[in-house]
Amino acid sequence: MQRIPVGRSGGTPGNRPPVLLQHGILMDGITWLLLPPEQSLAFVLSDNGYDVWIANSRGTKYSKGHKSLSPKDPAYWDWSWDELVAYDLPATFQYIYDQTGQKLHYVGHSQGTLIALAALSKDQLLNMLRSAALLCPIAYMGQMTSPLAKNAADNFIAEAVYWLGLSEFDPRGDAVVNLLKDICSKPGIDCTNLLTSFTGQNCCLNSSIVNIFLDHEPQPSATKNMVHLAQMIRQGTIKMYDYIDEVENMKHYGQATPPAYNMTSIPNDFPVFLSYGGEDALSDVNDVKLLLGSLKDHDGDKLVVQYRYDYAHADYVMAENAKQDVYDPLIAFFRLQ
Protein backbone atom coordinates (compact mmCIF):
# COMPACT_ATOMS: atom_id res chain seq x y z
CA MET A 1 0.00 0.00 0.00
CA GLN A 2 1.18 3.53 -0.79
CA ARG A 3 0.09 6.75 0.85
CA ILE A 4 -0.09 10.40 -0.19
CA PRO A 5 -0.67 12.13 3.17
CA VAL A 6 -0.73 15.73 1.88
CA GLY A 7 -1.17 17.50 -1.44
CA ARG A 8 1.14 19.89 -3.24
CA SER A 9 -0.11 22.82 -1.19
CA GLY A 10 1.08 21.13 2.00
CA GLY A 11 -1.05 20.97 5.12
CA THR A 12 -1.03 18.88 8.26
CA PRO A 13 -0.93 15.11 7.80
CA GLY A 14 -3.28 13.11 9.97
CA ASN A 15 -6.34 15.35 10.16
CA ARG A 16 -7.52 14.82 6.59
CA PRO A 17 -10.32 12.39 5.71
CA PRO A 18 -8.75 9.14 4.42
CA VAL A 19 -9.64 7.69 1.02
CA LEU A 20 -8.73 4.17 -0.10
CA LEU A 21 -8.27 3.58 -3.83
CA GLN A 22 -8.67 -0.03 -4.99
CA HIS A 23 -7.73 -0.97 -8.55
CA GLY A 24 -9.30 -3.56 -10.83
CA ILE A 25 -8.38 -6.92 -12.31
CA LEU A 26 -4.90 -7.33 -13.86
CA MET A 27 -3.97 -3.87 -12.61
CA ASP A 28 -2.21 -2.42 -9.56
CA GLY A 29 -2.07 0.87 -7.68
CA ILE A 30 -0.42 2.61 -10.64
CA THR A 31 -3.98 2.68 -12.04
CA TRP A 32 -4.61 5.89 -10.10
CA LEU A 33 -1.36 7.59 -11.19
CA LEU A 34 -1.34 7.09 -14.97
CA LEU A 35 -2.54 10.59 -15.87
CA PRO A 36 -0.59 13.82 -15.23
CA PRO A 37 -0.63 15.01 -11.58
CA GLU A 38 -3.42 17.53 -12.13
CA GLN A 39 -5.61 14.80 -13.69
CA SER A 40 -4.81 11.55 -11.81
CA LEU A 41 -7.43 10.74 -9.18
CA ALA A 42 -4.90 10.00 -6.43
CA PHE A 43 -3.26 13.41 -6.82
CA VAL A 44 -6.54 15.25 -7.38
CA LEU A 45 -7.92 13.85 -4.12
CA SER A 46 -4.71 14.74 -2.30
CA ASP A 47 -4.80 18.30 -3.62
CA ASN A 48 -8.42 18.53 -2.45
CA GLY A 49 -7.53 17.81 1.14
CA TYR A 50 -7.78 14.01 1.38
CA ASP A 51 -5.35 11.53 2.91
CA VAL A 52 -4.93 9.11 0.00
CA TRP A 53 -4.14 5.41 0.43
CA ILE A 54 -3.48 3.26 -2.65
CA ALA A 55 -4.03 -0.49 -2.37
CA ASN A 56 -2.18 -3.12 -4.40
CA SER A 57 -3.91 -6.51 -4.56
CA ARG A 58 -1.98 -9.63 -3.62
CA GLY A 59 0.32 -10.98 -6.30
CA THR A 60 0.85 -7.64 -8.07
CA LYS A 61 4.20 -5.87 -8.40
CA TYR A 62 4.12 -4.02 -5.06
CA SER A 63 2.30 -6.73 -3.10
CA LYS A 64 4.20 -9.98 -3.60
CA GLY A 65 5.26 -10.53 0.02
CA HIS A 66 4.11 -13.47 2.14
CA LYS A 67 5.15 -14.80 5.55
CA SER A 68 5.90 -18.31 4.33
CA LEU A 69 5.24 -18.65 0.59
CA SER A 70 6.80 -17.30 -2.60
CA PRO A 71 5.07 -16.60 -5.93
CA LYS A 72 6.65 -19.83 -7.19
CA ASP A 73 4.52 -21.86 -4.77
CA PRO A 74 1.09 -22.95 -6.10
CA ALA A 75 -0.40 -22.31 -2.64
CA TYR A 76 0.58 -18.63 -2.97
CA TRP A 77 -1.98 -18.33 -5.78
CA ASP A 78 -4.73 -20.40 -4.16
CA TRP A 79 -7.29 -17.63 -3.93
CA SER A 80 -10.05 -15.84 -5.79
CA TRP A 81 -11.73 -12.51 -5.11
CA ASP A 82 -13.63 -14.26 -2.27
CA GLU A 83 -10.41 -14.06 -0.25
CA LEU A 84 -10.00 -10.38 -1.11
CA VAL A 85 -13.47 -9.83 0.37
CA ALA A 86 -12.96 -12.00 3.43
CA TYR A 87 -9.38 -11.09 4.37
CA ASP A 88 -7.53 -8.48 2.33
CA LEU A 89 -10.09 -5.69 2.18
CA PRO A 90 -11.00 -5.84 5.91
CA ALA A 91 -7.30 -5.92 6.86
CA THR A 92 -6.59 -2.91 4.65
CA PHE A 93 -9.50 -0.96 6.12
CA GLN A 94 -8.50 -1.84 9.65
CA TYR A 95 -4.91 -0.70 9.09
CA ILE A 96 -5.95 2.68 7.68
CA TYR A 97 -8.59 3.14 10.38
CA ASP A 98 -6.04 2.35 13.10
CA GLN A 99 -3.51 4.74 11.56
CA THR A 100 -5.91 7.66 11.08
CA GLY A 101 -8.66 7.12 13.65
CA GLN A 102 -11.19 8.08 10.98
CA LYS A 103 -13.76 6.34 8.81
CA LEU A 104 -12.73 5.95 5.18
CA HIS A 105 -14.10 6.96 1.83
CA TYR A 106 -13.57 4.25 -0.77
CA VAL A 107 -13.04 4.35 -4.53
CA GLY A 108 -13.08 1.11 -6.51
CA HIS A 109 -12.62 0.45 -10.21
CA SER A 110 -13.78 -2.79 -11.86
CA GLN A 111 -12.85 -5.68 -9.52
CA GLY A 112 -12.33 -3.03 -6.85
CA THR A 113 -16.08 -2.40 -7.00
CA LEU A 114 -16.92 -6.10 -6.95
CA ILE A 115 -15.10 -6.80 -3.69
CA ALA A 116 -16.63 -3.71 -2.06
CA LEU A 117 -20.17 -4.65 -3.10
CA ALA A 118 -19.65 -8.21 -1.88
CA ALA A 119 -18.29 -6.99 1.46
CA LEU A 120 -21.15 -4.50 1.90
CA SER A 121 -23.68 -7.23 1.15
CA LYS A 122 -22.22 -9.19 4.06
CA ASP A 123 -22.46 -6.19 6.40
CA GLN A 124 -18.66 -5.94 6.50
CA LEU A 125 -16.64 -2.73 6.79
CA LEU A 126 -19.60 -0.47 7.59
CA ASN A 127 -18.19 0.52 10.97
CA MET A 128 -15.08 1.87 9.22
CA LEU A 129 -16.58 3.20 6.00
CA ARG A 130 -18.00 6.65 5.28
CA SER A 131 -19.02 6.22 1.63
CA ALA A 132 -18.08 4.35 -1.56
CA ALA A 133 -17.56 5.49 -5.14
CA LEU A 134 -17.85 2.65 -7.65
CA LEU A 135 -16.42 3.23 -11.13
CA CYS A 136 -17.40 0.61 -13.75
CA PRO A 137 -19.32 -1.40 -11.16
CA ILE A 138 -19.04 -5.17 -11.43
CA ALA A 139 -21.62 -7.36 -9.74
CA TYR A 140 -23.31 -9.21 -12.58
CA MET A 141 -21.30 -10.15 -15.69
CA GLY A 142 -23.63 -12.38 -17.69
CA GLN A 143 -24.36 -9.75 -20.37
CA MET A 144 -20.87 -8.40 -20.94
CA THR A 145 -20.01 -7.82 -24.58
CA SER A 146 -16.19 -8.05 -24.50
CA PRO A 147 -15.33 -10.70 -27.11
CA LEU A 148 -11.94 -11.27 -25.51
CA ALA A 149 -13.34 -11.80 -22.01
CA LYS A 150 -16.28 -13.94 -23.19
CA ASN A 151 -14.03 -16.25 -25.20
CA ALA A 152 -11.54 -16.47 -22.35
CA ALA A 153 -14.39 -17.44 -20.01
CA ASP A 154 -15.35 -20.27 -22.37
CA ASN A 155 -11.72 -21.37 -22.54
CA PHE A 156 -11.50 -21.61 -18.77
CA ILE A 157 -14.23 -24.24 -18.68
CA ALA A 158 -12.94 -26.13 -21.72
CA GLU A 159 -9.40 -26.24 -20.36
CA ALA A 160 -10.17 -26.38 -16.64
CA VAL A 161 -7.57 -29.00 -15.78
CA TYR A 162 -4.89 -27.26 -17.84
CA TRP A 163 -5.55 -23.85 -16.34
CA LEU A 164 -5.82 -25.02 -12.75
CA GLY A 165 -2.43 -26.64 -13.22
CA LEU A 166 -1.13 -23.11 -13.80
CA SER A 167 -1.70 -21.36 -10.49
CA GLU A 168 -0.45 -17.91 -11.59
CA PHE A 169 -2.27 -16.08 -14.36
CA ASP A 170 0.54 -13.98 -15.84
CA PRO A 171 -0.69 -11.84 -18.77
CA ARG A 172 2.88 -11.64 -20.07
CA GLY A 173 3.58 -15.37 -19.67
CA ASP A 174 3.64 -17.92 -22.48
CA ALA A 175 0.42 -19.68 -21.45
CA VAL A 176 -1.69 -16.52 -21.52
CA VAL A 177 -0.02 -15.26 -24.70
CA ASN A 178 -0.91 -18.58 -26.35
CA LEU A 179 -4.48 -18.29 -25.05
CA LEU A 180 -4.75 -14.84 -26.61
CA LYS A 181 -3.37 -16.12 -29.91
CA ASP A 182 -5.99 -18.87 -29.90
CA ILE A 183 -8.84 -16.46 -29.14
CA CYS A 184 -7.64 -13.89 -31.67
CA SER A 185 -7.56 -16.51 -34.43
CA LYS A 186 -11.29 -17.19 -34.07
CA PRO A 187 -13.76 -15.77 -36.63
CA GLY A 188 -15.25 -12.45 -35.62
CA ILE A 189 -12.57 -11.64 -33.03
CA ASP A 190 -10.55 -8.54 -33.92
CA CYS A 191 -7.45 -8.24 -31.75
CA THR A 192 -5.74 -5.46 -33.67
CA ASN A 193 -6.39 -3.35 -30.59
CA LEU A 194 -6.28 -5.65 -27.56
CA LEU A 195 -7.31 -2.92 -25.13
CA THR A 196 -10.46 -2.13 -27.12
CA SER A 197 -11.26 -5.80 -27.63
CA PHE A 198 -11.10 -6.28 -23.86
CA THR A 199 -12.57 -3.05 -22.44
CA GLY A 200 -14.77 -1.61 -25.18
CA GLN A 201 -14.25 1.48 -27.34
CA ASN A 202 -12.69 4.03 -25.00
CA CYS A 203 -13.47 7.59 -26.03
CA CYS A 204 -10.79 9.71 -24.51
CA LEU A 205 -7.37 8.06 -24.24
CA ASN A 206 -4.25 9.54 -25.76
CA SER A 207 -1.39 7.38 -26.98
CA SER A 208 1.14 8.64 -24.43
CA ILE A 209 -1.11 7.59 -21.52
CA VAL A 210 -1.68 4.18 -23.13
CA ASN A 211 2.10 3.78 -23.45
CA ILE A 212 2.55 4.59 -19.75
CA PHE A 213 -0.17 2.05 -18.97
CA LEU A 214 1.60 -0.62 -21.02
CA ASP A 215 4.89 0.12 -19.25
CA HIS A 216 3.32 -0.90 -15.92
CA GLU A 217 0.34 -3.13 -16.70
CA PRO A 218 -1.10 -5.72 -16.96
CA GLN A 219 -0.24 -7.36 -13.65
CA PRO A 220 -0.62 -11.02 -12.61
CA SER A 221 -3.56 -12.52 -10.78
CA ALA A 222 -4.46 -15.99 -9.56
CA THR A 223 -5.77 -18.37 -12.20
CA LYS A 224 -8.39 -19.38 -9.63
CA ASN A 225 -9.52 -15.74 -9.55
CA MET A 226 -9.85 -15.67 -13.33
CA VAL A 227 -11.82 -18.95 -13.24
CA HIS A 228 -14.15 -17.40 -10.63
CA LEU A 229 -14.77 -14.39 -12.87
CA ALA A 230 -15.33 -16.75 -15.81
CA GLN A 231 -17.98 -18.56 -13.76
CA MET A 232 -19.73 -15.23 -13.20
CA ILE A 233 -19.68 -14.49 -16.93
CA ARG A 234 -21.10 -17.89 -17.86
CA GLN A 235 -23.71 -18.05 -15.09
CA GLY A 236 -24.70 -14.38 -14.81
CA THR A 237 -24.66 -14.66 -11.01
CA ILE A 238 -22.60 -13.25 -8.15
CA LYS A 239 -21.66 -16.22 -6.00
CA MET A 240 -18.65 -17.53 -4.17
CA TYR A 241 -16.15 -19.68 -6.08
CA ASP A 242 -17.71 -22.89 -7.40
CA TYR A 243 -15.51 -25.95 -6.89
CA ILE A 244 -17.89 -27.76 -9.29
CA ASP A 245 -17.60 -30.90 -7.16
CA GLU A 246 -20.43 -31.02 -4.59
CA VAL A 247 -18.19 -32.66 -2.00
CA GLU A 248 -15.65 -29.83 -2.31
CA ASN A 249 -18.39 -27.22 -2.07
CA MET A 250 -19.75 -28.96 1.03
CA LYS A 251 -16.27 -28.92 2.55
CA HIS A 252 -15.84 -25.19 1.97
CA TYR A 253 -19.39 -23.89 2.39
CA GLY A 254 -21.41 -26.56 4.15
CA GLN A 255 -23.72 -26.78 1.12
CA ALA A 256 -23.63 -28.37 -2.32
CA THR A 257 -23.59 -25.08 -4.24
CA PRO A 258 -21.66 -21.88 -3.49
CA PRO A 259 -23.50 -19.19 -1.48
CA ALA A 260 -24.63 -16.06 -3.30
CA TYR A 261 -23.71 -12.49 -2.43
CA ASN A 262 -27.07 -10.75 -2.08
CA MET A 263 -26.88 -7.20 -3.42
CA THR A 264 -30.25 -6.33 -1.86
CA SER A 265 -28.59 -6.77 1.54
CA ILE A 266 -26.50 -3.61 1.08
CA PRO A 267 -27.86 -1.13 3.66
CA ASN A 268 -30.25 1.34 2.02
CA ASP A 269 -28.81 4.30 3.94
CA PHE A 270 -25.19 3.71 2.94
CA PRO A 271 -23.85 6.49 0.64
CA VAL A 272 -22.91 5.20 -2.82
CA PHE A 273 -21.67 7.06 -5.91
CA LEU A 274 -21.93 4.83 -8.98
CA SER A 275 -20.63 5.74 -12.43
CA TYR A 276 -20.86 3.56 -15.53
CA GLY A 277 -20.17 3.95 -19.24
CA GLY A 278 -22.26 3.27 -22.31
CA GLU A 279 -19.34 1.78 -24.25
CA ASP A 280 -18.01 -0.43 -21.45
CA ALA A 281 -17.68 -4.03 -22.67
CA LEU A 282 -16.84 -5.43 -19.20
CA SER A 283 -19.21 -3.53 -16.92
CA ASP A 284 -22.06 -3.77 -19.41
CA VAL A 285 -24.97 -1.34 -19.17
CA ASN A 286 -27.50 -4.18 -18.84
CA ASP A 287 -25.54 -5.82 -16.04
CA VAL A 288 -25.28 -2.48 -14.24
CA LYS A 289 -29.06 -2.11 -14.59
CA LEU A 290 -29.44 -5.47 -12.83
CA LEU A 291 -27.32 -4.10 -9.99
CA LEU A 292 -29.36 -0.89 -9.88
CA GLY A 293 -32.49 -3.04 -9.72
CA SER A 294 -31.06 -4.66 -6.59
CA LEU A 295 -30.52 -1.17 -5.16
CA LYS A 296 -33.99 0.13 -6.10
CA ASP A 297 -34.97 0.59 -2.45
CA HIS A 298 -31.84 2.59 -1.66
CA ASP A 299 -32.48 5.97 -0.04
CA GLY A 300 -32.76 8.52 -2.84
CA ASP A 301 -30.34 10.96 -1.24
CA LYS A 302 -27.76 8.22 -0.58
CA LEU A 303 -27.35 6.89 -4.13
CA VAL A 304 -25.86 9.03 -6.88
CA VAL A 305 -25.83 7.38 -10.32
CA GLN A 306 -23.81 8.86 -13.18
CA TYR A 307 -24.01 7.55 -16.74
CA ARG A 308 -21.28 8.48 -19.23
CA TYR A 309 -22.62 7.43 -22.62
CA ASP A 310 -19.21 7.64 -24.34
CA TYR A 311 -17.02 6.02 -21.67
CA ALA A 312 -15.62 2.49 -21.71
CA HIS A 313 -13.75 0.59 -19.00
CA ALA A 314 -10.33 2.23 -19.29
CA ASP A 315 -11.66 5.79 -19.65
CA TYR A 316 -12.43 5.88 -15.93
CA VAL A 317 -8.73 5.75 -15.04
CA MET A 318 -7.06 7.06 -18.21
CA ALA A 319 -9.37 9.51 -19.99
CA GLU A 320 -8.06 13.03 -20.57
CA ASN A 321 -11.38 14.46 -19.37
CA ALA A 322 -11.96 12.06 -16.43
CA LYS A 323 -11.20 14.78 -13.87
CA GLN A 324 -13.95 17.08 -15.12
CA ASP A 325 -16.43 14.36 -16.05
CA VAL A 326 -16.05 11.90 -13.15
CA TYR A 327 -13.56 12.90 -10.46
CA ASP A 328 -14.94 16.37 -9.72
CA PRO A 329 -18.51 15.03 -9.21
CA LEU A 330 -17.06 12.18 -7.13
CA ILE A 331 -15.27 14.63 -4.82
CA ALA A 332 -18.43 16.75 -4.55
CA PHE A 333 -20.23 13.58 -3.43
CA PHE A 334 -17.56 12.80 -0.82
CA ARG A 335 -17.85 16.32 0.60
CA LEU A 336 -21.53 15.77 1.34
CA GLN A 337 -20.90 12.63 3.39
List, for residues 100-121, the tens digit of each pLDDT value: 999 999 999 999 999 999 999 9
The residue-averaged pLDDT of 249-268 equals: 97
What DSSP element (H or E) covers 222? Answer: strand 221-222
What is the distance between the alpha carbons of residues 145 and 95, in angstroms, rounded to a whole number? 38
Of 66 and 182, the structure prediction assigns the larger pLDDT to 66
List alpha helices for the chain, DSSP H: 41-47, 81-83, 89-100, 111-121, 147-158, 160-164, 174-184, 194-199, 207-216, 223-235, 246-253, 285-294, 315-318, 322, 328-335
Reported confidence tier of residue 192, pLDDT bands at 50, 70, 90? low
Average pLDDT across the chain, whole number: 90
Residue 12 is predicted with a pLDDT of 64
Q: For residue 175, is pLDDT > 80?
A: no
Of 139 and 155, the structure prediction assigns the larger pLDDT to 139
Residue 92 is predicted with a pLDDT of 97
Whether 252 is catalytic: no
Of 209, 208, 283, give the one whose Cα is nearest residue 33. 209
DSSP 3-state assignment of 51?
Answer: strand
Reported confidence tier of residue 10, pLDDT bands at 50, 70, 90? low
- Structural domain of 137: 2-335
The residue-averaged pLDDT of 192-204 equals: 85
Whether 299 is catalytic: no
Among 55-64, 73-82, 155-164, 299-308, top mean pLDDT goes to: 299-308
Residue 282 is predicted with a pLDDT of 95
End-to-end CA distance of the chain: 25
Q: For residue 272, is pLDDT > 70?
A: yes
**Domain tally for the chain?**
1
Whats the size of the chain, residue-wise? 337
The residue-averaged pLDDT of 129-146 equals: 96
Instruction: Count Cα atoms within 13 angstroms, Cβ side, for 112.
Output: 29
Q: Which class for 158: exposed (0-12), middle (13-18), buried (19 or more C-beta within 10 A)?
A: exposed
Q: Which of 167, 170, 313, 315 is catalytic?
A: 313
The residue-averaged pLDDT of 265-292 equals: 98
Whether 88 is catalytic: no
Reported confidence tier of residue 13, pLDDT bands at 50, 70, 90? low
The residue-averaged pLDDT of 269-279 equals: 98
List, for residues 37-49, the tens digit of each pLDDT value: 999 999 999 999 9
By mean pLDDT, which of 156-165, 172-181, 213-222, 301-310 is the weakest?
156-165
Q: What CATH number does the domain containing 132 carry?
A: 3.40.50.1820
Residues 6+ apart with CB under 8 A from 280: 136, 199, 200, 311, 312, 313
Q: Which of 280, 284, 287, 325 is catalytic?
A: 280
Q: For residue 7, is pLDDT > 80?
A: no
Residue 257 is predicted with a pLDDT of 96
Reported confidence tier of residue 219, pLDDT bands at 50, 70, 90? confident
The residue-averaged pLDDT of 232-241 equals: 95
Q: Which of 80, 110, 121, 221 is catalytic?
A: 110
Residue 151 is predicted with a pLDDT of 81
Residue 159 is predicted with a pLDDT of 53
Residue 17 is predicted with a pLDDT of 94
pTM assigned to the model: 0.93
Centre a 10 Å sphere on the Cβ of residue 211 and count the other Cβ atoms it contains.
9
